Amino acid sequence: MKHKVDNLLEVRDLTVNFSSKDFSIDAVRSISFSIKRGKTFALVGESGSGKSVTALSILKLLPYQIASHSSRSSIKLREKELMTMSLNEIRKIRGDSISMIFQEPMTSLNPYQRVGRQIEEVLMVHKGMGRSEAKARVVDLFRKVQIPDPEYKAESYPHQLSGGQRQRVMIAMALSNDPDLLIADEPTTALDVTVEKSLLELLKGLQVQMGMSILFITHDLNIVKKFADEVAVMKNGEIVETGEVEKVFSLPKHSYTKKLLDSIPPPKNNVTDEGKSILVSQELTVNYLTKKSFFKEDHYLTAVDGASIKVLEGKTTGLVGESGSGKSSLARALLGLEISEGLIEFNGEDLNSLSANSRRFIKKDFQIVFQDPFGSLSPRQTVGEII
């Protein structure tokens, strides 16, 4: 009996099948695990192993037009079966008893509404707060997740924030209702390492304060080792090993677990020799108009201030910095996706002096992989059609 009392969430024989007239696949096959009250349970594995599908099953957020569970599948929260709950019943669980931090914040935030207002609505619906109380709570949450200038940022739209700042907005929203279980799907993917550490410490502190359990989904084994109490390793939709983190890391039993642990890269200290410069920027500046006034001076935010960078042919140049430090703005300026001042040379040609047509021909040799694939790929086309 003690076993059940200690467990906040119990997953038993969970199977998830996706099928249509063209295909049928078991994305998750008969997995079982329990999450104890006040503890962190990590779910690790490669992309496509079934981690996120498992998390979405808990909140019944799968596309059930093509998704289904076996009759043996069971998910219990405080010994109450979630699989048989109606949509109205599960809606009372979402965002209240269980909250989720999604991997792609741009697909979760309303692009037409200020981020502060989006969280205010959550607090007003779930907590019964008035507008002014909810607004003050939002500012407090933004401070806790270390969003700079929280009053100002609360009035921003999602596209006006950096990728890391958007993710922190999602974390603030997930914590706003003091959930019993927080499902965190790669929550630190878009964050810089300095904020990542403080964020994990914040979650750990809130966990102790609230008695909150956390289901932590990640591919980063270093985070698991430092942050989680128990871990389950997934491969091809199955859990191949589970147990206390310390035991699994020190004495892994399954060959796949050993492979994952062996894949942790050692520190590198490579010195790059000089070579031909393929991309050069000098004194590059990017300004964003933040407030336009008819009677006063317009207000601008300087995202990049006199940046100079050199990329050598055949080499990799790393650009690091905190969220909002200007990394993405610099990259977009180099591609000509942002208006900038300064010198940008690609293969010896000054891109800012070229006409739009001339620059268009050069862009085929100059590509980018964006941070948020869901924001870049059309949901109305197959990936094959897009390519």
What value, to the nearest 5°, has the Cα angle with vertex 173 and ends 224 and 112? 125
Predicted confidence (pLDDT) at residue 300 exceeds the cutoff of 50: yes
Higher pLDDT, 289 or 223: 223
- Give this prediction's pTM: 0.71
Tokens of 329: 């703005």
Q: How far apart are CA 165 and CA 153, in angstroms?
A: 9
Is pLDDT of 28 > 90?
A: yes
Check pLDDT > 60 for residue 271: no
pLDDT of res. 151:
94
> Which of residues 282 and 104 earns the better pLDDT score?
282
- According to the model, what pLDDT value does residue 1 have? 38
For the segment 238-250, the average pLDDT, to the nearest whole number, is 95
What percent of the chain shows pLDDT beyond 70?
91
Q: What is the CA radius of gyration of the chain?
A: 24
Domains 1-97+212-265 and 277-375 share a fold: yes
Beta-carbon contacts of residue 158 (< 8 Å; ≥ 6 apart): 105, 106, 109, 110, 111, 115, 166, 169
The pLDDT assigned to 114 comes to 95
**Mean pLDDT of the 149-157 span:** 93
- Residue 272, pLDDT > 60, answer no
Residue 360's pLDDT band (cuts 50, 70, 90):
confident
Contact 101, 182 (CB under 8 A): yes
Count CB atoms within 10 A of the CB of residue 185.
19
- DSSP helix/strand/coil, 126: helix
Q: Judge: domain 1-97+212-265, CATH 3.30.70.260.
A: no
| pLDDT at residue 292, as a whole number | 63
For residue 54, give the amino acid letter. T
Higher pLDDT, 84 or 266: 84
pLDDT band for position 2 (cuts 50, 70, 90): very low
Boundaries of every domain in the chain: 1-97+212-265, 277-375
Beta-carbon count within 10 A of 296 CB = 8
Highest mean pLDDT among 34-43, 101-110, 141-150, 307-316: 34-43
pLDDT value at position 145?
A: 82
Instruction: Say if strands 341-346 and 277-291 run parallel, antiparallel, or are unpaired.
Output: antiparallel
Mean pLDDT, residues 245-257 taken together: 93
- The mean pLDDT of 34-49, rounded to a whole number, is 94
Fold adopted by 277-375: Rossmann fold (3.40.50)
Q: Are strands 74-77 and 7-19 parallel, antiparallel or unpaired?
A: antiparallel
b/e code 340-372 from CB counts within 10 Å (16+ = b): bebebbbeeeebbebeeeebeeeeeeeeeeebe
Characterize the bridge pairing of strands 80-81 and 74-77: antiparallel
- 254 pLDDT above the threshold of 80: yes
Q: How many CB atoms lie within 10 A of CB 95?
A: 18
Residue 171, helix vs strand vs coil: helix
Instruction: Determine the pLDDT at residue 270.
Output: 59
Note the pLDDT of residue 299: 72
Residue-wise DSSP of 238-283 = EEEEEEEHHHHHHS--SHHHHHHHHTSPPP--PPPPP--EEEEEEE
Return d(Cα 97, Cα 15) in angstroms, integer.
23
Residue 326 in this model has a pLDDT that exceeds 80: yes
Residue 94 vs residue 268, higher pLDDT: 94
**Pairing mode, if any, of strands 181-185 and 213-218?**
parallel
Average pLDDT over residues 182-205: 78
Q: Which residue has the higher pLDDT, 51 or 1?
A: 51
Task: Reply yes or no on whether the pLDDT at 268 is more than 70.
Answer: no
The pLDDT value given to residue 126: 83
Pairing state between β 67-69 and 7-19: antiparallel
Kind of pairing, strands 40-44 and 213-218?
parallel
